[in-house]
Amino acid sequence: MTSSSPLPRTPLPTALITGASRGIGRAIADELATTHHLLLGGRDRSELEALASSYPSAEPFAVDVRQVAEADVAGIESLDVLVHSAGVLRMGAVADLDDDAWRESFEINVFAVARLTRLLLPALRRAGGQVIAINSGSGFTSGSSSAVYSGTKFALRALTDALREEERPHGVRVCSIHPGRVATDMQRELHEYEGKDYNPGAWIQPEQVAKTVRLAVDASREAAVESLNIRPSGIRTAGMA
């Protein structure tokens, strides 16, 4: 005799994504929404609530990453995926950049990542979870006017390299993804700074970066995607001027 009672639902794994309201973060949220309960990170609660309502299972994680504290993560007992996608771009020559530009860039792109990761490590360890940092090609090389941005991305790579080895015994995997230029608002700002026309179709699409996150998330436990570089192919496609 079979029971007519519904079977208990298996809880979805949980993914927290910072910078989830736009650009790469939004694309990652779209990609993981089919398989995860999403914690959508950002500062505008109303915007995040509206976004959460568009997904099968999601809720806002409304906090300024520069000010995140233990109380903000107190309800997160177990975390399967932590994606660091929030970031800022500040360009300029060393001779021109003031202390505030350096301070803000490192506060958001590095210090906030270290702080949020540290606070969530107990939850990540319980789940055997994974930390995924959206870094940049600028995490390997620097050039004129990119001292601040590249400096933060070099530092972020150092952070994730160290974290990977420290957390390996605890069962937490760490992935560093390094896209080249991606068609986002940040790329538009960069083109304005460079005085160049902006053609989104010429650059990596955010959805492609999200697919690399999916690759890391779906790797089985005996494997880890530890570092992955993605570059614009330079191949002309439909939609390119």
The tens digit of pLDDT for each residue in 156-196 reads 999 999 999 999 999 999 999 998 777 666 666 666 656 76
List, in sequence order, the alpha helices (H) in 61-205. 70-73, 99-106, 112-127, 147-167, 185-194
* Tokens linked to 132: 């995924």
Evaluate whether the domain defined by 14-230 bears CATH number 3.20.20.10.
no
Neighbours of 151 (CB within 10 A): 18
Q: Which residues face 182 on adjacent strands?
A: 204
Question: Which pLDDT tens digit goes with each residue over 91-144?
Answer: 889 999 999 999 999 999 999 999 999 999 999 999 999 999 999 998 999 989
User: Does the pTM exceed 0.75?
Assistant: yes
Position 1 pLDDT exceeds 70: no
Position 237 pLDDT exceeds 60: no
Question: Which of residues 42 and 204 earns the better pLDDT score?
Answer: 42
Burial class of residue 59, CB neighbours in 10 A (0-12, 13-18, 19+):
middle
Question: Which pLDDT tens digit goes with each residue over 221-230?
Answer: 999 999 999 8
Question: Which of residues 1 and 124 earns the better pLDDT score?
Answer: 124
Q: Which of 55, 149, 193, 198 is catalytic?
A: 149
Identify the pLDDT of residue 181. 74
149 tagged catalytic: yes
Residues, the chain, total? 241
Chain centre distance of CA 127: 19
Identify the pLDDT of residue 8. 46
Cα–Cα distance measured from residue 58 to residue 218, given in angstroms and rounded to the nearest whole number:
19
Q: Are 23 and 207 in contact (CB under 8 A)?
A: no
Of 191, 205, 203, 207, the closest CA to residue 233 belongs to 203
Q: Are 190 and 87 in contact (CB under 8 A)?
A: no
